[in-house]
Each structure stands twice: as structure tokens, then as C-alpha cells.
Amino acid sequence: MADLVKRIQSRLSRKSISISKQDLTLEIAALGYSPQALEEDEIDTITQLLLDKHQNTELAVSEPEEITAAPSDEHHASTPNSTAITNQQKEQLISVQAQSMGISLSESEITDISQTVSDSFTDFVSAVETINSSIKSYAQTKFDEVEQKIDSSNSNLRDYIDKKTTSLQRKSLEGAITTKEVLEQKSSNLKSFSKSLSAAFKAQ
């Protein structure tokens, strides 16, 4: 990735467009490409898009620490030693970083996370670290919500099983008592019949 970004930077430089690697990485992400996973066949397209964008503009960086804010229709306040990024750039970086972490986010989730991220950072690394932390926090919250739902579902299932088990035990006990009473009644009737039959034979 670093070599490909450097090649784009060199091509822009040959066209009198000077831009720091940090800002270039942000701009590549804003174009919809992943700075961490650039392909060889994307270089020409990205270079042309940036040339068109900066045709009449030169981003001058006097020192590595002093990063000029990436151009945008949105305006963000930044200090001389910080770089401002737009909402579009934040959302693109969030999408790229989430994919690299194996987390799938919807557009609305990306927007929600971007609203928790600052618009200004000291450097690109700081921006990525902050975004990664925000993604992890968001994912943890979602995992906790799912876990709570599972716990609640398991609890409801246990209660249902306990109630059904108690009901079946009660019915089984009632059935056993009824069977015992029937058998005892039949035994009593049989004894009474035997006595009557014996008395009848004696009378003969």
C-alpha cells in the first residue's frame, strides 16, 4: 500500500501538485478507495481524479508535522499542527477500517459512528486509532445488546420449562392418586363380592 500511495504522490508532484502522504491517504479514502488495499490497476484512475480535483490548487506542506487540511465543501476549524477531515472522509475511513477488522456496518451505523468522531486530528495515525476505537466501542455495545436479548430469551425459556414441568408433575400425581383410588375401590368391591359369594355357598 505504501509504495502505491508513494507512486501516486510522485505522479502528482510531477504535475506540480505537492501533497503530504497523510493528506493523500485521506483523499484516496474520500474517493472511495481503500488506502490499505490499493490495486495496481487503480493507480491511473486515482491519479487522474486527484489531478482533476487539484488542477488549480497546490497543497503545500512545509514540514511533516504541519499538515494542510484536505480541501472540501465543508469547513472545519483546525490548528497549524492538526488536520481536519470531512464527514465524507470520516465515513469512508470508518467503512475501510471496519472491513479490515472483519466488521460489517450498514450506512446508518457508519453515520452514527462518524458523529462520535472528531473532525480534527494531529495526524493520520491518530485519526485511524480514534476511528478504530469508536468502531470497537460501537461493536461492543451491539454485542452487549445481543447478549442481553439471548439471556432474556434463555430466562423466558427456563421459566416456561419450569412451569410445564411443574404442571406435568402435578397432573401425573393427580393421575396416580386417581388410579390408586380406582384400584382401591375395585379391590373393595371384589372383597365384598367374594364375601357375598361365600355367604351364598354356605347358605346352600
Residue entry with cell 484516496: 28
Using DSSP, how many helices (H) and how many strands (E) does the chain show?
6, 2
Nearest to 30 by CA among 61, 79, 74, 63: 74
What sections of 31-122 are H helices per DSSP? 43-53, 87-100, 107-114
Is pLDDT of 70 > 70? no
Look at the alpha carbons of 34, 38, 42, 45 in this order and tell me if their dihedral is positive or negative: positive
pLDDT band at 83 (very low <50, low <70, confident <90, very high): low
64 vs 175: which has the higher pLDDT: 175
pLDDT, position 201: 66
CA dist., res. 19 & res. 16, Å (int) = 10
Give the confidence band of 65 by pLDDT, cuts at 50, 70, 90.
very low
pTM, entire model: 0.41
H or E stretch at 83 = strand 83-84
pLDDT tens readout for residues 145-176? 788 888 888 888 888 898 888 888 888 888 88
Task: Point out which residues pair with 121 in neighbouring strands.
Answer: 83
pLDDT, average across residues 15-32: 81
Helix (H, G, I), strand (E, B) or coil at 116: coil
